[in-house]
Structure 1
Amino acid sequence: MKHLSKAVPAMIALSVGATMAAANPVPEHQTQAFLSALAAGGGKPLEQLSPQEARAVLTGAQKSVQVDMSGIEVSDKTIMADGKAIKLTVVRPQKVKGPLPVFMFFHGGGWVLGDYPTHARLIRDLVVASGAVAVYVDYTPSPEAHYPTAINQAYAATKWVAEHGQEINVDGKRLAVAGNSVGGNMAAVVSLMAKEKATPKLRFQLLLWPVTDSSFDTDSYRQFAEGHFLTRNMMTWFWDSYTADPNERAQIHASPLKASLDQLEGLPPALVQTAGLDVLRDEGEAYARKLDAAGVEVTAVRYNGMIHDYGLLNPLSQVPEVKAAMRQAGAELKAHLN
């Protein structure tokens, strides 16, 4: 008892320290250097740029460092859905023959930014870690198109791969969906659509720091509104570009967090990764809790010290937490697809 009584003050001190750290989180040191460089750059906020200018900013950031792109083979395939062409980029593990399991990849960038080149290293890391093929979907961005165009294209591409996988040498029966940020939103929504339409059969959903709600009413939105890469104002611009209609935003195909437990029941297993210093942190974790409440097999992991899109940003690709997050994501894909 004496030993226990001496330990109690230390335990209380640890608890208080942990609470203070949670209330005042700090970025990992390489991440802080990245944020400091952004602040010193003095550029206009992204939401004050044209879509074309904003896209160029992300492209420039991704090209600013060299990354490992070994171990993959890349090809393109164009499919037709509802009379319109959708370009797919197929990323395979190098020198591996035969139909492999496959995951769809929907890119982030607020429905406005991003393309295959900006996401190539992230996709490569997932392919190498999982041993599966990635099919990147080149959906039409906003404001060129608005909700629900992109999500309908994402679902159509997923259904096509399930039904015609042999055309790209993949096993469409071992199929998952994956995406980062708004791409995580799209992966979640495609999972909902697949349940509603009873096709295709999905084995897994990989939701990387996903957008799940349009309300902006969370502690993380208030705490990290500015100064942590993705800002509240940027997300406002992204949502306005995708759909400014409050009725559309409330639909579960835009805000999957609004889905009922009955609508979530029976969805494929999920891994939800969130960043400790991200406006989207709380809504991603809320979605994971709701999946769990609906009986879905879900793993939710918060990477402390990380900012939004930590796994996408090439300047952060060698940060230990980022490498660990990619290994986890790849391992979960592999476990559920094999």
Structure 2
Amino acid sequence: MRKYAKQLLDQIHAKEHVETVDGVPVLMKPVPDDDRPYVLDPRLLDVIRMKRKMFAQRAQKGYRLSQERYRPDKVTEDLCTVEIDVDEKLIDIGHDHKIDIYLYRRHADQGCLPVLIYLHGGGMTAGDMRLFANQMRLIAELAQAVVVFPEYRLAPECPYPASIEEAWGTVQWVAEHADELNVDLNRLMVAGDSAGGALTNACLLKDENGLIKKAFEIYPAVDSTDYRKQTRYSWSYDAYPIVEEQFEDAFSRIDRIKNSVGVSEAESLYLQGKTNYENPLVSVIYAPAERLAQFPPLTIVSAEYDYLRVGSDYFVKLLRDLGVDVKSVRYCGCDHGFLDLLGTIVQAEDLCHLIAGEIRTMAK
């Protein structure tokens, strides 16, 4: 059940518009019921203030991996209007081990369908089906597609490159079992949020034969290097204007990710010294231009008050300058991770519609 009026979706669509940012057209999705610029969505503001209290209490105990994996603040609602079939399979990865995957499709859809492989976020250390099941169900309904959700292994137990191997292994498995799954490989899209966006880009780099026809990245991690040493673009708080009364709330969300920057490769729970941040499979902006130019059409979604937005905006321009078919979408008044709040934040539902729309437009 939604915790907002459904007509807010229509208000977002009525107010959305294209602005040119650094020479790039960006589809702006404004806050539906506040016409002021540089404001947080009012529903999100309530969530942020709750999170600030929760994180302040947790900080007193220091870092706990279990707390990153247990997130009572991330609550989703089932917004589906039709029956969704959910299947679970163990699949082989590299003839070495197995992982669990979940498959979602509308009960009424029995024909050959497009397929979305969704790679969840969580900093490579957290996230699972329980946090994303309702989003996957809704996308399957809206897109009339099969949605595949792999439970890739997490760090620190399984550091780099485990998650990449399993993300790409899932793409390969779907391709090898297309007839069994009754999916159309000419309509195969890979999507992911945050760390899942990084995994999406890693899959694109590994996909030398063009299996992936389209990609969709949600506030992706495209650059894990220290912004203070970055020479390709500059990061500054000046990129995040906000009304004065919401300053601390907005910047608490920006700092949530910013404050994790600067950890050495050896200390990184994900890398554990096995590679460096400039590895293109970790930070895609360092990939060779000739390889990036081969990327399929993709959509990159950013949140206005997200530390990662500046890097992803740079990535959009980089791809665009290389001739890649790339769309840029910005959700104003939102922060990193808003998709985690389906049913609470109206923009999360709108984003599911946007993902589904990109699936539906793939030619048969």
TM-score normalized with structure 2 length: 0.77
Q: CA deviation at 1:208?
A: 0.7
1:159 paired residue number? 172
Match in the other structure for 2:9: none
Please give the alpha-carbon distance, in whole angstroms, between the structure 1 residues aligned to 2:134 and 2:262: 27
1:265-290 per-residue CA deviation (whole Å, 9 max, x = no partner) reads 12110000000000111111211111
Residues 141-192 of structure 1 show CA distances to partners (whole Å, capped at 9, x for unaligned) of 0101111111011111101101212222322342110111100111111011
- State yes or no: 1:204 paired with 2:240: no
1:115-164 CA distance string (max 9 Å, x none): 01111122223222222111101110010111111101111110110121
> Structure 1: which 5+ residue stretches go unaligned?
1-23
1:221 and 1:46 map into 2 onto residues whose CA distance is 26
Q: How does 1:288-327 map to 2 (within 5 A)?
A: 288-314=316-342, 317-327=343-353
Partner of 1:213: 223
Counterpart of 2:78? Answer: 67
Change beyond 3 A, Cα 1:46–1:66? farther
SS at match of 2:362: helix
TM-score by length of 1: 0.83
Cα separation, 1, equivalents of 2:212 and 2:60: 35
For residues 19-58 of structure 1, what are the structure 2 equivalents within 5 Å?
25-41=38-54, 42-45=56-59, 48-56=62-70, 58=71
Contact 1:191 1:202 in 2 (8 A): yes
5 Å-filtered alignment, 1:93-108, equals 93-108=106-121
User: What does residue 253 of structure 1 align with?
Assistant: 281
Task: Write the deviation string for residues 51-100 of structure 1: whole angstroms up to 9, x where unpaired.
Answer: 223211x2x2234x643255321101111122211211111123211221
Cα root mean square deviation, aligned:
2.6
Equivalence for 1:227 = 252
> Displacement of 1:40 after TM fit?
3.1
Indicate the residue corresponding to 2:293 in structure 1. 265
The Cα of 1:329 is off from its aligned counterpart by: 1.9
| Partner of residue 230, structure 2 | none
Contact in 2 for aligned 1:126/1:326 (Cα 8 Å): yes
State the secondary structure of the residue aligned to 1:119.
helix
Deviation per CA, 1:238-265: give whole Å up to 9, x if none. Answer: 9811114395321111111111221111
State the shift of 1:303 in Å. Answer: 1.0
Alpha-carbon distance between aligned partners in 1 of 2:39 and 2:187, rounded to the nearest angstrom? 40
What does 1:162-177 align with in structure 2 at a 5 Å threshold?
162-177=175-190
Distance in 1, Cα, partners of 2:162 & 2:154: 9
Q: Following superposition of structure 1 onto structure 2, how do residues 106-145 of structure 1 map, counting pairs within 5 Å?
A: 106-145=119-158
Kindly state the Cα deviation for residue 318 of structure 1 after the two structures are TM-superposed.
4.4
Equivalent-residue separation in structure 2 for 1:236 and 1:140 (angstroms) = 24
Rate the CA distance shift 1:219–1:262 in 2: closer, same or farther, 3 A: same
Shift, 1:220, TM fit: 5.6
Determine the structure 2 residue equivalent to 1:284.
312
Post-superposition offset of 1:323:
2.9
- In terms of mean alpha carbon deviation, does 110-119 or 319-328 score higher? 319-328
For 1:91, the aligned partner's letter is Y
Q: Hey, what's the Cα distance between the residues in 1 that align with 2:60 and 2:252?
A: 13
3-state secondary structure, aligned to 1:250: coil
